[in-house]
Every structure is written in structure tokens, then in C-alpha cells.
């Protein structure tokens, strides 16, 4: 089962990195350009730190499911991703919007982007970290 934890973590990390490129590098890029005074210049961005943060977040997201969720299946993973994404997304998008002068659509993009990433991550871990189904006629342990 720990091998599945590692595989799920790495897949969630890879999907989150890819979605970050799409969400932040493409969809929200014009909003970042319009608010350039709020961000570090590209050459000062801490890219290595961001990769490490995403890897740690992917592990934490996956480990909580692995360790604390009882009925492990694709549907449970998806629901876990939905609730995690809603909570983290509202904090990321609208929590930041409440204290920083970012455009509303950036807040919405951060909320929806976080929700989509968590749904994708939940679906992945639900498919990989599953409880084996008992065979017909076999008693569940």
C-alpha cells in the first residue's frame, strides 16, 4: 500500500504541475501581467521552492487520504478532492482577494483552479489507493 502512496503522490504532483502551467502560465497570464507591481520579476521567482512546495502539498494531500479516509475508492477520492478543493480554493482565491488588490477574476481563477486541481488529485488517489473489494461469497474483513 505504501508503494501506491508514493505512486499516487508522484502522479498528483505531475498533474498539479501541468495544471499550474495551464492555469497560471496561460489562462491567468494576462491578469498577472496587468498586476506586475504585485509580483517578483520572473528572474527573481523562486522556481525551485515552488516545485518543492507543490511536491510537499501533493504528498500531504495524498497522505491524508491514505491515512485517514476509510472507504477508499474513485468516488471517495473525487469527493475528498471536491471538499478539499472548495476549502483550499476559497481561502486561496477569496481570502487573498480580501487583503490584496488583485482583480476579481484572478481570485475566481485561483478558486476554480485550486478546485480543479484538487478534483483531479482526488480522482487520481481514489483510483490508485483503493481498498480491495472482497470476492463474491468472501466475508469482508
Mind listing the pLDDT tens digit of every residue in the chain (141 residues)?
Answer: 799 999 999 999 999 999 999 999 999 999 999 999 999 998 999 999 999 999 999 999 999 999 999 999 999 999 999 999 999 999 999 999 999 999 999 999 999 999 999 999 999 999 999 976 666 766 555
Residue 136 domain-assigned (yes or no): no
Residue 10 domain-assigned (yes or no): yes
Q: How many residues does the chain have?
A: 141
Q: Which residues contact residue 103 at a Cβ distance below 8 angstroms, ignoring those fewer than 6 apart?
A: 31, 34, 35
C-alpha dihedral sign at 101, 105, 107, 113: negative
Over the stretch 113-130, which tens digit does the pLDDT of each residue have?
Answer: 999 999 999 999 999 999
Residue 80 domain-assigned (yes or no): yes
Which residue range is the domain that position 121 belongs to? 2-29+50-128
Of 141, 121, 137, the closest CA to residue 17 belongs to: 121
Residue 73 domain-assigned (yes or no): yes
Over the stretch 70-85, which tens digit does the pLDDT of each residue have?
Answer: 999 999 999 999 999 9
Residue 140 domain-assigned (yes or no): no
Residue 133 domain-assigned (yes or no): no
Residue 70 domain-assigned (yes or no): yes
pTM of the model: 0.90
Residue 18 domain-assigned (yes or no): yes
Count of domains for the chain: 1
Amino acid at each position: 500500500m505504501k508503494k501506491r502512496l508514493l505512486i499516487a503522490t508522484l502522479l498528483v504532483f505531475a498533474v498539479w504541475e501541468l495544471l499550474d502551467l495551464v492555469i497560471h502560465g496561460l489562462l491567468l497570464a494576462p491578469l498577472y501581467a496587468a498586476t506586475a507591481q504585485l509580483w517578483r520579476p520572473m528572474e527573481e521567482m523562486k522556481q525551485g521552492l515552488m516545485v518543492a512546495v507543490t511536491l510537499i502539498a501533493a504528498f500531504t494531500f495524498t497522505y491524508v487520504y491514505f491515512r485517514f479516509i476509510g472507504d477508499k475508492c474513485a468516488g471517495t477520492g473525487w469527493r475528498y478532492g471536491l471538499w478539499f478543493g472548495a476549502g483550499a480554493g476559497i481561502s486561496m482565491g477569496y481570502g487573498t482577494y480580501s487583503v490584496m488588490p488583485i482583480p476579481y477574476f484572478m481570485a475566481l481563477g485561483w478558486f476554480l483552479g485550486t478546485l480543479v486541481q484538487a478534483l483531479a488529485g482526488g480522482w487520481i488517489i481514489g483510483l490508485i489507493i483503493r481498498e480491495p473489494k472482497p470476492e463474491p461469497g468472501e466475508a469482508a474483513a
